[in-house]
C-alpha cells in the first residue's frame, strides 16, 4: 500500500504518517498540490492520496482526471472544519478523515483503498499444493496466471510469490483492470508524453515503467478491453512499451502476474479474450480453491480475523470462538470465500456481547438466517459486565429484540455508522458491503415515510 499525504496539516502530518507506516503502508509526503502532481507524473505512484482539506482539492482531482492518473483522494483536516469537509466531498473527495488522526479510521481508509491480508494461512492440503508450486516457481521470471473465485486470496498469493522471488527487494505494483475506465487504461499502463492529449501537461510514467525491476500484478485481467489486450500482448512479448504520444519504445524489466475470477477459455470462445494473450499469460497457472474446498483452513482464518479486529477495535482482550460458533462457521457454504469470512468475523467481534463469540453474532449470508431473527436480550448484569470490554461501543447491539431482518439490518447500519463516527468507508468495510450499497440503503431509509428523524443525520 502506497500512501501519499499532501499538505502540512499543522503538525498532524507526522502522526498520520506514523499510523500509516505502522499499518504497513509506504508513505510519501508532498507539501502542496503541484509537488504531489510532479511526484505522480515522475512515476512515484500512490494507491491513495490524503490531502489537506485547506488545499484546492477540486483542482487536484481535476488535474488527476485530465492527466489520466487514477488515484483515490481522501480529504483530511481539523475535525471542527465542517464546511471545508462538506466542500471537499462535493469537490470529489471520497471520504473525510478528521484530525488529529485516529488509528482506527486511518486503518479503515487504508483497507478500503487496498484490501489485502499479508498473513498466509494455508494448512489445508488443497492450499499446501498451491504453496508448494508457488515456492517452486517464485525464483523464476515466468509469467503467472492466478485464477479462482472472487475472495479466494489471489492478490495475497501474488504478493507471496513476489516476496519469495529474486525481485523481493524491488517494488510490487498492483493495478485492478476492472476499476480503471477504458479511456484511461492505456495511459495508466504505459504512461504518456507531454501534449499527447488535452490535459497531458507533462510526461507521466505508467505502471509498466513504475514496476520495472519488480513485479506488476494485473488484477482481473479478464475485464481488459480487447483493443488493450493487443497492446498488452506486445508489451509482454517484446518487453517494451509505448507511452501514449511517444516516438520510441521504452524497455521494461518486470515480473508479470495476472489474475482472473472468470473461465478464460470460455471467454475466448465468446470472443471476449484473446487466445494468444491467454497462452502468453498462462505459462504457470495457479488455481486457488474456494474456501469450502479447503475446510481445515476455515477456523484458523476465522480466529486470525477475530484477533485482528479485536485489536483494531480497541478491545483489551481477543475474542474467542464458542463451540457453537465454530460449528456454524464450519457448516456455512462461504460463497464469498475468505473475503466473506473476514467481513463476517469483523461484524461478529463488534456484535458479540460476551468474552466468547456466540453463534448469534455470526451473521451469515445466503439465507442462513430466517425472516425473523431472535437474539435473546442480555440481562442487565451481563450487560454491565460486558461494558468493561466493549470500549465505548454501547455494548455493540447487545439488546436486539426479536425483529424482522429488514429492521435488524437498518439498526445494524445505524449503530455501525455511530461506532465509526459517521465514516461511511469504515462502516461499509465492517458491514461487508460496498460504499455504493451503503449510500443506496441510506437513501432508501431517507425516502421511507415510516423512517425516523435519525435517518436524515446519516444521509
- Interatomic CA distance for residues 459 and 448, integer angstroms: 13
Q: 209 CB contacts (<8 Å, ≥6 apart)?
A: 43, 190, 191, 241, 250, 252
Same domain, 129 and 178: yes
pLDDT beyond 80 at 24: no
pLDDT band, residue 371 (cuts 50/70/90): very low
Going by their DSSP bridges, the two strands 284-287 and 144-147 should be labelled as parallel
pLDDT beyond 60 at 368: no
Residue 211 domain-assigned (yes or no): yes
> How high is the pLDDT of residue 200?
75
- Interatomic CA distance for residues 395 and 189, integer angstroms: 48
> How high is the pLDDT of residue 11?
64
Q: Distances from the Cα of 224 to the Cαs of 217, 258, 263, 264, in angstroms?
A: 13, 11, 14, 12
Residue 424 domain-assigned (yes or no): yes
pLDDT band, residue 13 (cuts 50/70/90): low
> How high is the pLDDT of residue 235?
94
> How high is the pLDDT of residue 374?
36
Average pLDDT over residues 335-356: 88
> How high is the pLDDT of residue 10?
62
Residue 274 domain-assigned (yes or no): yes
Q: How many CB atoms lie within 10 A of CB 340?
A: 20
> How high is the pLDDT of residue 405?
64
Q: How many residues in total does the chain contain?
A: 459
**How many domains is the chain partitioned into structurally?**
3
Residue 120 domain-assigned (yes or no): no
Same domain, 130 and 261: yes
Same domain, 55 and 40: yes
> How high is the pLDDT of residue 65?
78
Select the more confidently predicted residue: 202 or 70: 202
Residue 157 domain-assigned (yes or no): yes
Instruction: For residue 194, give the C-alpha cell.
Output: 507531454
Going by their DSSP bridges, the two strands 255-260 and 144-147 should be labelled as parallel
Average pLDDT over residues 166-173: 89
User: Containing H/E element for 147?
Assistant: strand 144-147
pLDDT digits (tens, 9 = 90+) for 29-83: 888 999 998 888 776 777 788 898 888 999 998 888 777 677 888 888 876 667 8
User: Containing H/E element for 175?
Assistant: strand 172-176
Final residue belonging to a domain, choices 256, 289, 322: 289
Same domain, 169 and 316: no
User: Containing H/E element for 259?
Assistant: strand 255-260
- Portion of the chain with pLDDT greater than 90, in percent: 36
Select the more confidently predicted residue: 192 or 318: 192
> How high is the pLDDT of residue 372?
29
CATH number of the domain that residue 53 is part of: 3.40.50.2300
Cβ pair 50, 98 in contact under 8 A: no
Cβ pair 328, 299 in contact under 8 A: no
Select the more confidently predicted residue: 444 or 381: 444
Average pLDDT over residues 80-88: 78
- Interatomic CA distance for residues 381 and 50, integer angstroms: 44
Phi, psi for residue 241 in degrees, rounded to 5: -130, 160
Residue 118 domain-assigned (yes or no): no
Instruction: For residue 118, give the C-alpha cell.
Output: 499479508
- Interatomic CA distance for residues 133 and 189, integer angstroms: 29
Helix 125-137 vs helix 154-163: angle between axes, to the nearest 10 degrees?
40
Cβ pair 342, 323 in contact under 8 A: no
Block residue for cell numbers 485489536: 311
CATH number of the domain that residue 221 is part of: 3.40.50.300
Same domain, 316 and 282: no
- Interatomic CA distance for residues 131 and 46, integer angstroms: 29
pLDDT digits (tens, 9 = 90+) for 247-290: 889 999 999 999 999 999 999 999 999 999 999 999 999 999 99
Same domain, 92 and 193: no
Same domain, 281 and 132: yes
Q: 286 CB contacts (<8 Å, ≥6 apart)?
A: 130, 133, 134, 144, 145, 146, 147, 157
Residue 242 domain-assigned (yes or no): yes
Same domain, 220 and 310: no
Same domain, 276 and 241: yes
CATH number of the domain that residue 356 is part of: 1.10.8.60
Same domain, 309 and 276: no
Q: Across the chain, how many H-helices and E-strands are there?
A: 20, 16
Expressed as residue numbers, the domain containing 98 is 2-113
Select the more confidently predicted residue: 457 or 9: 9
Provide the CA 70 distance to its chain's centre, in angstroms.
Answer: 15
The DSSP code for 293 is G
> How high is the pLDDT of residue 420?
64
Average pLDDT over residues 108-122: 60
> How high is the pLDDT of residue 237?
92
pLDDT digits (tens, 9 = 90+) for 404-432: 667 777 888 887 777 665 677 767 777 77
Instruction: For residue 296, give the C-alpha cell.
Output: 481445515
**Average pLDDT of the residues of the chain:** 80
Average pLDDT over residues 88-108: 77
Same domain, 82 and 187: no
> How high is the pLDDT of residue 68?
67
Angle formed at CA 108 by CA 102 and CA 110, multiple of 5 degrees? 100
- Interatomic CA distance for residues 398 and 130, integer angstroms: 41
Cβ pair 430, 345 in contact under 8 A: no
Q: Which of 323, 278, 296, 369 is nearest to 126 (CA)?
A: 296
Same domain, 146 and 204: yes
- Portion of the chain with pLDDT greater than 70, in percent: 78
User: Containing H/E element for 280?
Assistant: helix 275-281
Model pTM score: 0.61
- Interatomic CA distance for residues 186 and 356, integer angstroms: 51
pLDDT beyond 50 at 389: no
> How high is the pLDDT of residue 63?
87
pLDDT band, residue 110 (cuts 50/70/90): low
Select the more confidently predicted residue: 325 or 456: 325
Final residue belonging to a domain, choices 289, 319, 344: 289
Final residue belonging to a domain, choices 54, 83, 113: 113
Residue 227 domain-assigned (yes or no): yes
Amino acid at each position: 500500500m502506497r500512501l501519499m499525504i499532501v499538505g502540512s496539516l499543522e503538525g498532524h502530518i507526522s502522526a498520520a504518517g506514523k499510523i500509516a507506516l505502522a499499518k504497513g503502508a509506504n508513505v510519501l509526503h508532498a507539501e502542496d498540490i503541484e509537488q504531489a502532481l510532479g511526484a505522480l507524473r515522475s512515476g512515484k505512484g500512490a494507491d491513495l492520496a490524503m490531502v489537506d482539506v485547506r488545499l484546492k482539492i477540486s483542482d487536484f482531482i481535476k488535474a488527476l482526471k485530465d492527466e489520466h492518473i487514477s488515484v483515490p483522494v481522501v480529504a483530511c483536516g481539523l475535525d471542527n472544519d465542517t464546511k471545508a469537509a462538506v466542500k471537499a466531498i462535493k469537490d470529489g473527495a471520497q471520504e473525510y478523515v478528521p484530525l488529529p488522526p485516529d488509528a482506527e479510521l486511518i486503518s479503515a481508509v487504508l483497507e478500503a483503498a487496498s484490501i489485502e491480508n499479508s498473513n498466509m494461512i494455508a494448512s489445508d492440503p488443497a492450499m499446501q499444493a498451491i504453496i508448494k508450486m508457488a515456492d517452486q516457481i517464485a525464483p523464476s521470471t515466468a509469467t503467472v496466471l492466478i485464477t479462482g473465485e472472487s475472495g479466494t486470496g489471489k492478490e495475497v498469493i501474488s504478493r507471496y510469490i513476489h516476496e519469495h522471488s529474486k525481485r523481493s527487494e524491488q517494488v510490487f505494483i498492483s493495478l485492478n483492470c476492472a476499476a480503471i475506465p477504458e479511456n484511461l487504461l492505456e495511459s495508466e499502463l504505459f504512461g504518456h508524453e507531454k501534449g499527447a492529449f488535452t490535459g497531458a501537461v507533462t510526461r507521466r510514467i505508467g505502471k509498466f515503467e513504475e514496476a520495472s525491476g519488480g513485479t506488476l500484478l494485473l488484477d482481473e485481467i479478464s475485464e481488459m478491453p480487447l483493443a488493450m489486450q493487443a497492446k498488452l500482448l506486445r508489451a509482454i512479448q517484446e518487453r517494451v512499451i509505448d507511452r501514449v504520444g511517444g516516438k520510441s519504445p521504452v524497455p521494461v524489466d518486470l515480473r508479470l502476474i495476472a489474475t482472473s475470477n472468470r473461465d478464460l477459455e470460455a471467454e475466448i470462445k465468446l470472443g471476449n479474450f484473446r487466445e494468444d494473450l491467454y497462452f502468453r499469460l498462462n505459462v504457470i497457472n495457479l488455481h486457488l480453491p474456494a474456501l469450502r474446498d479447503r475446510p481445515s483452513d476455515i477456523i484458523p482464518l476465522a480466529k486470525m480475523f477475530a484477533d485482528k479486529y479485536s485489536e483494531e477495535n480497541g478491545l483489551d482482550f481477543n475474542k474467542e470462538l464458542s463451540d457453537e460458533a465454530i460449528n456454524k462457521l464450519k457448516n456455512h457454504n462461504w460463497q464469498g470465500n475468505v473475503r466473506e469470512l473476514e467481513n463476517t468475523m469483523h461484524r461478529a467481534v463488534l456484535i458479540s456481547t460476551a468474552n466468547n463469540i456466540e453463534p448469534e453474532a455470526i451473521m451469515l449470508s445466503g439465507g442462513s438466517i430466517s425472516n425473523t431473527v431472535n437474539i435473546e436480550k442480555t440481562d442487565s448484569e451481563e450487560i454491565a459486565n460486558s461494558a468493561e470490554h466493549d470500549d465505548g461501543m454501547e455494548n455493540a447491539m447487545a439488546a436486539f429484540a426479536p425483529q424482522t431482518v429488514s429492521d435488524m439490518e437498518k439498526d445494524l447500519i445505524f449503530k455501525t455508522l455511530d461506532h465509526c463516527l459517521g465514516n461511511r468507508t469504515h462502516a461499509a468495510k465492517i458491514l461487508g458491503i460496498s460504499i455504493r450499497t451503503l449510500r443506496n440503503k441510506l437513501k432508501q431509509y431517507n425516502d421511507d415515510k415510516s423512517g425516523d428523524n435519525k435517518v436524515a443525520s446519516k444521509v
